[in-house]
Structure 1
Amino acid sequence: MSYLRRPPDRNPADRTAGAAGTCRRDLDTNLLTAVLLTTVLQGSLRRPGGRLIMISSAAAQRGGAGSHSAGSYAAAKAALHGWAFGLARRLGPDGITVNVLAPGYVADTEIFGDRWGEEFHAQKVADTLVGRGGTPADVATAVACMASPAAGYLTGQVIGLDGGAVLGR
């Protein structure tokens, strides 16, 4: 009796290399760029009153589902939270705030690629408590609020902008 059903479609090393490439791309795009940019800009920020706002994703709080790419994207965005928290501690004494905006489903973007369709849209909207997807204007408004002088006491936070799809933590 054999316990092997059939050989894998691809060499496991090929699959591992592909997953590693996806992880590397997601880390470079979603974490490393923020680390490098904020490191370079720290000396140029207004003291007091500077604002750093990083864009994450609700996926960082929910976890990626379905594929290596969704999982590595969520992990990279979650790592961005840790980077922001460290910056908030370091820059807070200089009067600089650091926060993270974590949008959920934003309907008028192409972030979901070829998965975009009526059924996909309906499921994402059904996940919200407000019965609609977000808009780019929703994101812009939240960023403007977080960047305003009125937000001077808001720092070290992850702000969910997802219509209630991910409840507060």
Structure 2
Amino acid sequence: MGVAGCGKTSIGEAFARLTGSTYVDGDALHPTCNIAKMSRGEALCDADRWLWLAAVGQVLATRQGVTVVGCSALKRAYRDRIRKEVGAPVTFVYLAGTRELIAARMAARSGHFMPLKLLDSQFAILEIPGPDEHAVMVDVDRPLGEVVAAIVMALKEKMA
């Protein structure tokens, strides 16, 4: 979880490969109206997100084994919605980074519907997971392999 451009897809895919998990890109679960809205440079509101968050939770609830879903889940209420849909514990990995780092990454990517001008709206609503949320935080300001290794270590510590 994290703001647009933090690396949810590339990190999630690498983590899933390493752990033998299945990766699902949460962007693929968005209703077309949400994608169209973001493509126009309009931030989603809470009402826009509820069906999408339910879909994320349903994917997690119906898949066998460990599933990794890349999803912004920026607010605690969004994470609560996912947990409610799953009906079981969900571990969130918060991919943290500075606005400057993430803006540079977004500016360098092409072909994604989320424009750089929406990044500030993402940071504005971001609620960092609290200690009671069964989450770990990993900084994304290092190479991909190091980020994935940090996630594995953080999850091992969390489960111990």
Does TM, normalized by the shorter one, top 0.5?
no
TM-score by length of 1: 0.30
Indicate the structure (1 or 2) with the bigger Cα radius of gyration: 1
Higher relative contact order (CA 8 A, sep 6+): 2
TM-score by length of 2: 0.31
